[in-house]
Structure 1
């Protein structure tokens, strides 16, 4: 039996006004995420990954397109309905130090969503729920009355994960949750997220620029470049057969920690990034692509399915 589609984006767009112009942060994104799976979103800084995550949770209003959650259109619902939906949709932010109130204890930080939604009828139930969440994310109860700035980065990120889990959500946007952590702590947090997914059938959008991380945790991967999806495929297919020149360049730049491994690719991506402010029609990677022709300019390049489940936006394919 096929898993149901929990989250769907249809021609999703988010533009920001820049004077008389518009910055195309997210421009025509389409995808479906099956319940209990992870969609990895990768790309360079400034490609629109984090904006996409915030749009999915309606932290930013949509410029155009639709967001479907569990089959329901949540694109333009009002504050009352949105509050109900947000109990099931949460976010883990990149910088735990910046996303946690330094004046509140660990217990207060994790329990804040429970108070907002009045999820616990008694103080005893509230305390028991917090203890259970802290145990789930691997935080010892002796830290309950500590402040976040007194703890290390790994424990601070566990607080962020605990807050996200407080209301037992179905869908979590993970915005580079391990990029600020040491490698050993990264592995602990990634394994925790994967264990929680198996246990609670959580659905993730995992935003990162680290290809080794996204390979480890994702079922499918979307590669973004300047607001657009240039390639979308199952994780194994993307790493085995990257088709878009930008994806190939990203993978070729990944260093291999071995004395006998191949050297880094000599085909370094060169050239200036195209401005995302009122971009001209055409492939936005054309200015840096060694295979670009006139066919790549002057018209938008549609995404086509070159293999089952493998989509690429490129005239060379």
Structure 2
């Protein structure tokens, strides 16, 4: 693995206007780095800002504040023309293959769409050859070339999505819950395919999921998000061996992983209601559900603190 940083986010924020004077803080002051050829897992409950973060990194959403550095280049304020050649190196695999694939287009057309947009192939022969190569790479038989996505099962549809993402030979791929709509056996096949492609092509991933049992096997580092903020950030093995934030502990306690259950983590069921992400008050947003919350958790924001080497947590207990 290279030590070169490919993606760096600095105090990244994305707010959405709701109503006349209110803003929803979807991503609120998130910072992280992803080294080339590695995977950052992003976990958290639905609505915590994971998918918004992925789209902001690709500049599908404009940035409210902060910086995004791609391979050392600041892409935060680039317009559509400036970012076009860079975006060819960044792709996305969407959560629901049924919703992200045009049912009117054949498998060949779906995978080849980026090739036509960027005018990569010189002629039809080169285009057909490239489609065949991509289908072989993602494990799709050529007999499905003229098939439509709705004629195939979920696993094959997701392979189409992966093939489309690979069409431009990208360096960085946002995997937005790519296996959540699949059954367990197909999940394993898709995860193995993604890991094999990473080894073969040196791909860099951000892997978004709410399932810690999935992210455990594919990620080098994990960032835990809660209501738009990062509450814990660590190497995967360190986070699973020693979860520090009460929210992370609660997530792990809900995951049926035998190795974790054997450790008998002293966690409690998360109770209480979610804090509103619309113009939230300063302080820990998990305090309303945290069994350890004190007055120190409210009134002022709690920054990430390096508790152990490379292990950061946002909590007043440390």
TM-score category of the 2 structures, normalised to the smaller one = over 0.9
In structure 1, C-alpha distance between the alignment counterparts of 2:239 and 2:308, rounded to whole Å: 11
In structure 2, C-alpha distance between the alignment counterparts of 1:221 and 1:262, rounded to whole Å: 20
Other structure's SS at 1:120 match: coil
1:241 is matched with which residue?
A: 242
- Deviation of residue 122 (structure 1)? 1.2
1:221 is matched with which residue?
A: 222
1:13 is matched with which residue?
A: 13
Aligned residues: 316
Task: Tell me if 1:312 matches 2:313.
Answer: yes
In structure 2, C-alpha distance between the alignment counterparts of 1:223 and 1:316, rounded to whole Å: 17
2:211 is matched with which residue?
A: 210
- Deviation of residue 229 (structure 1)? 0.1
Structure 1 residue ranges (4+ consecutive) displaced by more than 6 angstroms after TM superposition: 260-266
- Deviation of residue 255 (structure 1)? 2.4
In structure 1, C-alpha distance between the alignment counterparts of 2:241 and 2:52, rounded to whole Å: 28
Gaps of 5+ in 1: none
In structure 2, C-alpha distance between the alignment counterparts of 1:256 and 1:83, rounded to whole Å: 42
1:158-177 mapped onto 2 (5 Å cutoff): 158-177=159-178
CA distance change for structure 1 residues 2 and 83 in 2, over 3 Å: closer, same or farther?
closer
1:1-317 mapped onto 2 (5 Å cutoff): 3-19=3-19, 20-256=21-257, 267-317=268-318
CA distance change for structure 1 residues 255 and 264 in 2, over 3 Å: closer, same or farther?
farther
Q: Is the 8 A contact 2:281 2:299 kept in 1?
A: yes
In structure 2, C-alpha distance between the alignment counterparts of 1:120 and 1:26, rounded to whole Å: 38
Q: Please give the root-mean-square deviation of Cα atoms over the aligned residues, in Å.
A: 1.6
- Deviation of residue 2 (structure 1)? 5.1
In structure 2, C-alpha distance between the alignment counterparts of 1:153 and 1:41, rounded to whole Å: 23
Gaps of 5+ in 2: none
Other structure's SS at 2:182 match: coil
Kindly provide the CA deviation profile for residues 270-308 of structure 1, in whole angstroms up to 9, marking residues without a partner as x: 000000000000000001111111111000001111111
Q: Is the 8 A contact 1:254 1:264 kept in 2?
A: no
Other structure's SS at 2:275 match: coil
TM-score, scaled to structure 1 = 0.97
TM-score, scaled to structure 2 = 0.97
Other structure's SS at 2:10 match: strand
Other structure's SS at 2:24 match: strand
In structure 2, C-alpha distance between the alignment counterparts of 1:27 and 1:2, rounded to whole Å: 29
Q: Is the 8 A contact 2:213 2:257 kept in 1?
A: no
- Deviation of residue 13 (structure 1)? 0.1
Q: Is the 8 A contact 1:3 1:35 kept in 2?
A: yes
In structure 1, C-alpha distance between the alignment counterparts of 2:66 and 2:252, rounded to whole Å: 31
Q: Is the 8 A contact 2:249 2:267 kept in 1?
A: no
Q: Is the 8 A contact 1:100 1:148 kept in 2?
A: yes
Q: Which shifted more, 1-10 or 27-36?
A: 1-10
In structure 2, C-alpha distance between the alignment counterparts of 1:224 and 1:256, rounded to whole Å: 21
Q: Is the 8 A contact 1:253 1:264 kept in 2?
A: no
In structure 2, C-alpha distance between the alignment counterparts of 1:251 and 1:37, rounded to whole Å: 23
Kindly provide the CA deviation profile for residues 130-160 of structure 1, in whole angstroms up to 9, marking residues without a partner as x: 0000000000000000000000000000000
Other structure's SS at 1:280 match: coil
